């Protein structure tokens, strides 16, 4: 009897310890499940918020390119132009769902606004103190969230510079009301809100959290808010949120917060956050923990019931030694089965690893083959370009040869007649013609040779000169006007022959784009923006059809007649520039014609040792 009591006591102690361990394990599991659901919801609301912002992000830059905007900034006294623009702004608001669209000059003064007829019109107001104005004036996309100084309504602002060539004349701004986004947040089964970098809650499905602060605002942020007149600091109060604990070793905070739109009823919530880097915001999610606690206590009771049953069963088994021995034998058999399964799984993993190594090798071989194919395709493209220029090159060589023959005959006649000076003049002309043919031959040789895949310093001046030299005959026959602007003495990272191939494709396509009967005008502009160099080729053709533009760089896609193009030139050029870690994009010019922009990295300056 004493031994039985001891066994029962040990089993009871084991049950208590198991209950504690089980409680902690289940609590951790339930907490992880709730946190996982919360982070999935955070991702969803983060994407929803970013999608809402992206819907309006490009409106200001698009509006800034409207000719009517430039007309108002160039001549602010033109009332008719201003009224026409303001009427168009009202149409923009209705079509895009924005609140207000307005235009400021470089002093920050609003010269045109869509709400010009309203009592709280923005026209005549100076918003030079707003951060979005300063960002747009510096050439960037301005972004800002704050209270309107006139309407006192919260809104998000996008601002873009209005450029006239290289000059910035003003700033175009759109304001978006946040009510629609907050309505979507209000439909969430959780409490969702967003705070800015100062800890001020700017958007919330629950109105009680709006314009409250999650932490005291430091003096530097308070000064910045006051300078930008972003919020009224006198009405901002601490958020009704208090931390009361944490889960998972202090990784997940648990807070007490209102359960509805008043502070009368509160509850415990899991507080999850996710940063929104581009906006400088933080997305917050409060998840009610009541259900988790109910489930946890239910599982604890179930665990205790199971433990009691196990204890009773174990007592009976202990009294029956034979059954205990059988149980041990079963465990030994299970252990053997488990070891066998481990061996089988190890063998399977080894086979999978071997297969993975084989697939990696095949992929590397495929990548090498792809690079070789691309190199061959580039070489084929260059040879095709030489083939298309064959007629022009024949003319370029035949004309000097004919002239050389004529000058040689004349020189012989002059020698026979004793006119040595005239004979010398003819020989000098022959010398110049042979130098011209040798120079053209060198250009063709450099262009036709197989280029290396290495990236090195390339001179834009040399590349443009050789490109135009190869296309000189074609340009002269078309009576084309080629204008080069910008600094040609820049160096980029690339390959001399491959970059020349790209430029020949772009200039040749520009010639092809101009209809017969119209003199081709090709503008080549070079600009530099920090570590990027933009090489822009634009023509005066009919432009690119909207349905063609998305496919312009697809392989084998061409709008030329059969036999006049394979549709590989722009595709090859796109991949060449991509290999240089650059970009090639196409667009239509507002005044007509097409524009192709090649963005390349600026080559680092040569060191003293390399220069020597």
DSSP secondary structure of 456-487: EEEEHHHHHHHHHHHTHHHHHHTT-EEEEEE-
Percent of the chain at pLDDT exceeding 70: 81
338-354: average pLDDT? 84
Mean pLDDT score, 200-213: 91
Average pLDDT value for residue range 111-118: 92
Is the confidence at residue 394, as pLDDT, over 70? Answer: no
Q: Would you state the pLDDT for residue 535?
A: 95
Q: pLDDT over 90 for what percent of the chain?
A: 41
Whether 487 maps to a domain, the answer reads yes
* Domain-ending residue, one of 118, 144, 177: 177
Per-residue three-class SS string for 140-180: CCEEEEEECCCCCCEEEEEEEEEEECCEEEEEEEEEEECHH
**CA separation (Å) from 41 to 227, 243, 260, 470?**
36, 21, 20, 60
3 state DSSP class of 239: coil
The CATH number given to whatever domain includes residue 65 is 3.30.450.20
| Chain position carrying tokens 């949120």 | 241
**214 or 446, which is more confident:** 214
144 within some domain: yes
CB 580, CB 600: distance < 8 Å:
yes
Question: Under a CB-based contact definition with an 8 Å cutoff, are residues 175 and 157 in contact?
Answer: yes
Model confidence at 3, pLDDT cuts 50, 70, 90, reads low
Rounded CA-CA distance 478/559 in Å is 20
Give the residue from 131, 177, 124, 172 showing the smallest Cα distance to 153.
177
Confidence of residue 95 (pLDDT cuts 50, 70, 90): very high
Q: Confirm whether 565 is domain-assigned.
A: yes
pLDDT digits (tens, 9 = 90+) for 480-530: 999 999 999 999 999 888 898 899 899 989 999 999 889 999 999 999 998
Q: Is the pLDDT of residue 401 over 80?
A: no
Better-scored residue on pLDDT, 371 or 419: 419
DSSP 8-class letter at 607: P
83 pLDDT more than 80: yes
Check whether 223 has a pLDDT greater than 80.
yes
pLDDT at 270 (0 to 100):
92
At residue 205, does pLDDT exceed 70?
Answer: yes
The residue that leads in pLDDT, 316 or 136, is 136
Q: Is the pLDDT of residue 612 over 50?
A: no
The pLDDT, as a whole number, for residue 562 is 47
**More reliable by pLDDT, 10 or 460:** 460
Q: Is the pLDDT of residue 399 over 60?
A: no
Q: Looking at residue 301, what is its pLDDT?
A: 77
Whether 479 maps to a domain, the answer reads yes
Look at residues 153, 177, 201 and tell me which one is the last residue of a structural domain. 177
Give the pLDDT confidence of 10-61 residue by residue, as tens digits: 666 666 666 666 667 777 887 888 889 999 999 999 999 999 999 999 999 9
In whole angstroms, how far apart are CA 57 and each of 162, 176, 344, 539? 16, 10, 56, 30
Count how many domains the chain has.
2
Domain boundary among 177, 198, 230: 177
Rg (CA), the chain: 38
Predicted local confidence at residue 470, as pLDDT: 83
pLDDT band per the 50, 70, 90 thresholds, residue 438: low
The count of other CB atoms within 10 Å of the CB of residue 578 is 12
Burial class of residue 250 in the structure, from the number of CB atoms within 10 Å of its CB (0-12 exposed, 13-18 middle, 19+ buried): exposed
What distance in Å separates the CA atoms of residue 148 and residue 424, rounded to the nearest whole number? 84
Residue 263 CB: number of other CB atoms within 10 A? 11
pLDDT, position 12: 66
Strand order in the sheet with 142-147: 110-113, 100-105, 167-177, 154-164, 142-147
Is the confidence at residue 318, as pLDDT, over 70? no
Q: How far is CA 589 from CA 66, 275, 286, 453, in A?
A: 12, 39, 50, 33
Is residue 595, in this structure, part of any structural domain at all? yes
Lowest mean pLDDT among 72-81, 447-456, 566-575: 447-456
Q: Is residue 497 part of a domain?
A: yes
Round to the nearest angstrom and report the end-to-end CA distance of the chain. Answer: 101
pLDDT digits (tens, 9 = 90+) for 541-567: 999 999 999 899 887 777 765 445 556
Q: Band of the pLDDT at 136, cuts 50, 70, 90?
A: very high
Is 96 within 8 Å of 52 (Cβ atoms)? no
Residue 403 has pLDDT above 80, yes or no: no
Q: Which residue has the higher pLDDT, 363 or 607?
A: 363
Query: What angle (nearest 5°) sits at the alpha carbon of residue 447, between those of residues 445 and 450?
Result: 90
DSSP string, 510-522: HHHHSPTTS--EE
Residue 581 belongs to a domain: yes
Residue 21 lies in a domain: no
Kindly report the CATH number assigned to the domain that includes residue 480: 3.30.565.10
Other beta carbons within 10 Å of 397:
15
303 in Cβ contact with 296 (< 8 Å): no
* Confidence at residue 54, expressed as pLDDT on a 0 to 100 scale: 92
Residue with the larger pLDDT of the pair 451 and 50: 50
Structural domain of 506: 450-609
């Amino acid at each position: 009897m004493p031994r039985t009591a001891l066994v029962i006591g040990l089993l009871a102690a084991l049950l208590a310890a198991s209950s504690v361990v089980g409680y902690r394990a289940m609590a951790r599991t339930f907490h992880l499940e709730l946190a996982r659901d919360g982070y999935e919801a955070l991702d969803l609301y983060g994407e929803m918020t970013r999608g809402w912002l992206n819907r309006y992000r490009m409106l200001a830059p698009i509006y800034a390119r409207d000719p009517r905007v430039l007309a108002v900034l160039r001549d602010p006294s033109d009332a008719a132009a201003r009224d026409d623009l303001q009427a168009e702004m009202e149409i923009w608001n209705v079509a895009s769902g924005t609140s207000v669209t307005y235009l400021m000059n470089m002093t920050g003064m609003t010269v045109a606004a869509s709400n010009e007829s309203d009592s709280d019109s923005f026209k005549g107001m100076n918003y030079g103190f707003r951060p979005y104005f300063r960002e747009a004036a510096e050439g960037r996309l301005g972004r800002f969230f704050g209270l309107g100084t006139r309407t006192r309504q919260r809104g998000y602002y996008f601002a873009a510079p209005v450029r006239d060539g290289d000059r910035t004349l003003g700033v175009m701004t759109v304001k978006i009301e946040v009510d629609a986004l907050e309505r979507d947040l209000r439909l969430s089964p959780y409490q969702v809100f967003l705070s800015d970098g100062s800890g001020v809650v700017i958007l919330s499905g629950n109105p009680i959290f709006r314009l409250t602060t999650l932490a005291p605002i430091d003096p530097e942020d308070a000064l910045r808010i006051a300078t930008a007149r972003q919020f009224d600091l006198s009405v901002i109060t601490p958020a009704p949120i208090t931390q009361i604990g944490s889960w998972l070793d202090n990784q997940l905070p648990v807070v007490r917060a209102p359960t509805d739109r008043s502070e009368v009823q509160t509850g415990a919530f899991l507080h999850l956050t996710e940063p929104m880097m581009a906006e400088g915001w933080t997305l917050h999610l409060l998840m009610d923990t009541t259900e988790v606690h109910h489930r946890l206590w239910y599982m604890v009771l179930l665990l205790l019931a199971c433990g009691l049953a196990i204890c009773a069963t174990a007592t009976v088994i202990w009294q029956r030694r034979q059954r205990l021995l059988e149980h041990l034998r079963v465990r030994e058999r299970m252990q053997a089965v488990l070891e066998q399964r481990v061996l089988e799984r190890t063998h399977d993993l080894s086979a999978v690893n071997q297969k993975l190594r084989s697939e990696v090798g095949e992929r590397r071989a495929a990548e090498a083959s792809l690079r070789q194919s691309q190199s061959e395709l580039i070489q084929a493209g260059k040879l095709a370009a030489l083939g298309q220029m064959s007629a022009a090159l024949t003319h370029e060589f035949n004309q000097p040869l004919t002239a050389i023959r004529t000058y040689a005959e004349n020189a012989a006649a002059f020698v026979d007649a004793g006119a040595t000076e005239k004979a010398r003049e003819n020989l000098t002309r022959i010398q110049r013609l042979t130098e011209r043919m040798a120079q053209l031959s060198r250009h063709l040789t450099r262009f036709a040779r197989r280029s290396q895949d290495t990236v090195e310093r390339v001179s834009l001046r040399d590349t443009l000169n050789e490109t135009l030299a190869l296309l000189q005959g074609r340009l002269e026959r078309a009576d084309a006007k080629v204008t080069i602007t910008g600094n040609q003495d820049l160096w980029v990272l690339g390959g001399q022959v491959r970059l020349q191939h790209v430029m020949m494709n772009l200039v040749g396509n520009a010639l092809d784009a101009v209809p017969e009967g119209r003199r081709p005008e090709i503008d080549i502009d070079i600009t530099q923006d920090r570590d990027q160099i933009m090489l822009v080729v634009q023509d005066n053709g009919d432009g690119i059809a909207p349905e063609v533009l998305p496919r312009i760089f697809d392989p084998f896609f061409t709008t030329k007649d059969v036999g006049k193009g394979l549709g590989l030139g722009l595709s090859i050029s796109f991949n060449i520039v991509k290999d240089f870690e650059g970009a090639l994009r196409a667009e239509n010019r507002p005044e007509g014609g097409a524009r192709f922009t090649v963005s390349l990295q600026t080559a680092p300056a040569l060191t003293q040792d390399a220069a020597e």
